[in-house]
Amino acid sequence: MYNVEAIIVGSEVMYREDMSSDELVKRITKVKDLVGPKGVKVTTSEVYYKFYPEIVDAVDFLMMNAFIYWEGEHIDNAVDKLKEHFLTAKSISKGKVVRISETGWPDQGEQFKDSIPLPENQKNFLMKTLCMTRTLGIEMIWFSAIDELYKPGVEGHFGLLDSNRKLKSFYQFDSLINPCVS
């Protein structure tokens, strides 16, 4: 029995155009050859619209990133847009599991189009996302656990915890555990 469930080979490699999809597939395959016999799954983490067929074929499951804030969506549409992106990834997954590997909303910083970074908007997006993913049985990772103030501007304010590692004052632990209860 191993403690490692999966290995992620690359993060947003296609989005940043770090390498070709063929090169990424070669790297995924190399890692699968090493750890697959031990039962460890292998994937990559990518924005929802960059899962090319050869990548889908190579991975054991899909890890989808979607930051609705950076799409300039109003908070009222944000969770529906995230669900739409998930369903897009699911439609090309060839029956493989799709997980949301990165999503989040900042609580301060500069407005981007209709996306406004406010504490109530971060809380709204988190709670509705948690409820949606729980209701639909979708695994999701929130980005990020802790504010990263070394990052410039809005980028440093996606955390559930402040930079002192304390739960932000607008969250209540019980509501994070039971997000579908108002």
DSSP state of 162: -
**Rounded Cα gap, residues 73 and 31, in angstroms:** 37
- In tens, the pLDDT along 116-167 reads 999 999 999 999 999 999 999 999 999 999 999 999 999 999 999 999 999 9
The pLDDT, as a whole number, for residue 178 is 84
The pLDDT, as a whole number, for residue 1 is 58
Residue 175 has pLDDT above 90, yes or no: no
Q: What are phi and psi of 73, to 5 degrees?
A: -80, 145
Give Cβ neighbours of residue 142 (< 8 Å, ≥ 6 apart): 103, 104, 126, 129, 160
